[in-house]
Amino acid sequence: MNRAITKPFLYEHVARIGKAISSPKRLELIELLAQGEKTVELLAEQARIDTRLASAHLRTLREARLVETRREGKFIHYRLSGPDVARLWINVREVAEEHLVELRVALEQMAAAPDALSSESRESLLSKARSGEIVVIDVRPEAEYAAGHLPHARSMPLAELERRLADLPIGTEIVAYCRGPYCLMSDEAVRLLRRRGYTAHKITDGVTEWSANGLPIES
């Protein structure tokens, strides 16, 4: 090893990643970008923060090489610099869930909710969706669905769901998903469907979790 390169120098560069993801909002931005490329304005809207603050967070992520940009006219589009960044988010989240009791208890309460489909394996879900035994709906915005979605899933954005209920069969179980275990859009979708007489559940997986487990994603 070059004597000019010291262990502190190496650790310092690895720590840049830790510093970049040390903010809850930056973690949320990574989760949002795992769904596909987005503009600063859209990220700010979805993360419910000011555009300036979103830009500052994104600049920090870019300095750590976790995101990349491209310009289209007056708009700057952000994307993750690689699928390993999405896996980093999942790994950090899983370590937190394993070691932080408060987080684990909160997630267990969410999983115990009556709208959660907790006993179904991913492979079984895929098989049932393929055969038409269940209907899987993706309640994220349509652009996120287009970027990548679970096999056999239909795009039914939450904002459009109520007026598109006629597209769903009454006698078939509906399974909704969104961006992952911390996303609540699927909860809202299930409540709406049940009020209208549908048999509906949600799964906590999103495309990031599905892909991280080696299962196919369609686009």
For the annotated catalytic residues, the residue numbers are 178
Can you tell me the distance from the alpha carbon of 141 to that of 159, in angstroms, rounded to the nearest whole number? 8
> How many other C-beta atoms are found inside a 10 Å radius of the C-beta of residue 31?
21
Look up residue 142 and give its two tokens: 């349509």
| DSSP string across 30-97 | HHHHTT--EEHHHHHHHHTS-HHHHHHHHHHHHHTTSEEEEEETTEEEEEES-HHHHHHHHHHHHHHH
Can you tell me the distance from the alpha carbon of 171 to that of 73, in angstroms, rounded to the nearest whole number? 48
Q: What is the largest CA-CA distance in the chain?
A: 71
Strand 67-72 and strand 75-80: pairing? antiparallel
27 membership: H or E segment, kind and range = helix 24-33
